[in-house]
Structure 1
Amino acid sequence: MNKIRYQKLQEIQTLEFTLVELNLYLDTHPNDQKALREYNTYGKQLQKSRAQYEAMYGPLCNFGMSLSQYPFKWVEEPWPWDM
């Protein structure tokens, strides 16, 4: 597999993990402004990273969660979970 592709996917997974943890924390500490700022900052980073990945390698999700270029890219392998 392409090393850059793998690194980009790892970056996305790291951001997703961070956001899950911050989300869980904010569930019990909804007034923590610093945590909320971090959550929003990481969320923007994730959106940017996902857009970059999908522009280079195709969609990360199907069923309308990610748009596709022509021809339909979802059928191209490897799929994100296969890496």
Structure 2
Amino acid sequence: MNANEEEWNMLKKVQQADFVVVELTLYTDTHPNDIEALKQWRDAIKEASRVRREYEARFGPLSLLSVPSSQALDVGWRWSNTPWPWQR
């Protein structure tokens, strides 16, 4: 697997993890007493965060919230620089 395929696969994992969080959020909004669903929701948030951090450590930030100021200064990150993750 080349680097580009690896990046796309990791980005897909981020999207999948985010999807699970959204779906569980919607479910728990309508079923607030479902303890198992709330546990799954908490676990899904942790997993989505882990996958996002793993992607960003290898390929760069996915949002402005992901860029710590010191990293932005050290690396010289500029949002106007291409390619963006979806352009690679």
TM-score normalised by structure 1 residue count: 0.84
Question: Could you tell me which of 12, 33, 36 is aligned with 1:34?
Answer: 36
Partner of 1:57: 59
- Distance (Å, rounded) in 2 between the aligned partners of 1:5 and 1:46: 16
Deviations 1:10-68 (A, max 9, x none): 00101111111110111110111110111111111111111111111110002xx1115
**Retained in 2: the 8 A contact 1:60–1:80?**
yes
User: Percent identity between the aligned chains?
Assistant: 40
RMSD: 1.8
Alignment of 1:4-83 (within 5 A): 4-62=6-64, 65-68=65-68, 69=71, 70-72=75-77, 74-82=79-87
Shift of the 67–13 alpha-carbon distance from structure 1 to 2, 3 Å rule, reads same
Larger Rg: 2
Instruction: Give the direction of change, closer, same or farther, for the CA distance of 1:30–1:39 in structure 2 (3 Å limit).
Output: same
Q: Which has the higher helix share?
A: 2
Q: TM-score, normalised by structure 2?
A: 0.80
Q: Aligned pair count? A: 81
